[in-house]
Amino acid sequence: MFWFGLDPSDSNSISEITKGVLKYRNKYSYVYLEYTRFEGFLKQQMGCIAIKCGILVKNDVKYRMNDNGFLSLTAANIEAFLNLD
């Protein structure tokens, strides 16, 4: 599962995420969480430290985009991040 935390009014990031995960939709599920509403969960359970974050949970291991050098939620960065496995 690929988790995203972001501001729900950030339509540009939502659009980029949708493009970035498109070809992986049969491999991963993904969910958007409103960062301000789910900040505690995103920080404590997922290790998300920024308002915009992407975390892939695979086999109970969390892979954070920012830990792998991808600091922004662009379609290209999401695709590159998902190609790491």
Domain that holds residue 23: 2-82
53 strand-pairing partners? 5
User: What is the pLDDT confidence band of residue 53, given thresholds at 50, 70 and 90?
Assistant: confident
Judged against a pLDDT cut of 70, whether residue 51 lies above it is answered with yes
Total domains present in the chain: 1
Judged against a pLDDT cut of 80, whether residue 68 lies above it is answered with no
Judged against a pLDDT cut of 70, whether residue 85 lies above it is answered with no
Full-model pTM:
0.81
Of residues 79 and 52, more confidence is placed in 79
